[in-house]
Structure 1
Amino acid sequence: MAQVYIEPRPKGRRDGEAIEVFVVEDHKDHVRATFRTQHEAIVWATKERHLNDKAMPGHWRAV
């Protein structure tokens, strides 16, 4: 289970500019998936088992 990050795009946008999409990236900046909303990105990452709650052992133990 790799660590992933949800990032708004375009990168380098100025304050006040619209966010076009949200991408799910791995630690090497490879785009894993693209979504219109941040919520969709979170749902996808959760379904793919990219969870970050270390307080819940079921999230980080091998299945």
Structure 2
Amino acid sequence: MANVFVEPRPQGKQEGSPVSDYVVEDHADHVLATRATQEAAIKWAKLQGHTPNVACVRHLNDKQKQDHWRKV
């Protein structure tokens, strides 16, 4: 079971601007899936046998630092 990361898009968006979608990425930033909501992205990851992680704080998303992420 691989750890994957659920992130909002677009990256680097301005504070208060809407999220267009959520992507599921592996540790090397390869996009595995794109879904309209965070919940749908998490559900997809779990159905594929992955362990999804979401950022604890949106702008802190370094995949090498475990404390930036929480498992869901």
TM over 0.5: yes
Stretches of structure 2 that go unaligned for 5 or more consecutive residues are 53-72
2:46, 2:19 → 1: CA distance? 22
In terms of fraction of residues, the more strand-rich structure is 2
Aligned to 1:26: 26
User: One-letter code of the match for 2:11?
Assistant: K
Listed as ranges, the gaps of 5+ residues in structure 1 are 53-63
2:40 is the counterpart of 1:8:
no
Larger Rg: 1
Q: CA RMSD for the aligned pairs?
A: 1.1
Q: Give the match for residue 39 of structure 1.
A: 39
Match of 2:57 in 1: none
Q: How many residues align?
A: 52
In structure 2, the partner of 1:59 is none
Give 1 or 2: higher helix fraction: 1
- 4+ runs of 1 displaced by more than 6 Å? none
